Amino acid sequence: DAKTTQPTSMDCAEGRAANLPCNHSTISGNEYVYWYRQIHSQGPQYIIHGLKNNETNEMASLIITEDRKSSTLILPHATLRDTAVYYCIRNYGGATNKLIFGTGTLLAVQP
C-alpha cells in the first residue's frame, strides 16, 4: 500500500510550470516525502525529497503543507523531456527502507 494519492494524469504546456499534487494525509512525523519519475522504459529517476521545509534543487521544487498532509512538486519550466510518470512516495529514508510505488501521475507536456 503506497498510502499516497495522486491524480492519474495531467497535461502541461511546454515552458509553463507543472504543479503535481500528492496527498499523504496519514504520513508519520518522521517520514519523508520523496519524488521520483519514470520516463518510458527506463528505471526511475530521483527528483527531490523533503520532511517539513520546502526544498529546491536544479530539477524541481517541493512544497510541503504545514500540516504535512499534502505536497506539490513543481517543475518550473516544463519541457517535452519532462513527460513521464511522477511518483510521490513516503518513506523513512534509511538505507534498508524499501520504496513502495503507487500508481503515480502521468505528466504529458504538450508542445
Partner 1 sequence: GAVVSQHPSRVICKSGTSVKIECRSLDFQATTMFWYRQFPKQSLMLMATSNEGSKATYEQGVEKDKFLINHASLTLSTLTVTSAHPEDSSFYICSARSGRGITEAFFGQGTRLTVV
Residue ranges that bind partner 1, judged by CB under 8 A: 32, 34, 36, 38, 41-46, 49, 85, 87, 93-104
- Measured from the CB atom, the residue of 14 and 61 that comes closer to partner 1 is 61
Beta carbon of residue 99, minimum distance to partner 1 (angstroms, whole number): 6
Decide if 36 contacts 48 (C-beta within 8 A): no
Beta carbon of residue 15, minimum distance to partner 1 (angstroms, whole number): 26
Beta bridge partners of 71: 22, 64
Distance CA 30, CA 76 (A): 28
Q: Which three cell numbers stand for residue 61?
A: 521544487
- Measured from the CB atom, the residue of 42 and 66 that comes closer to partner 1 is 42
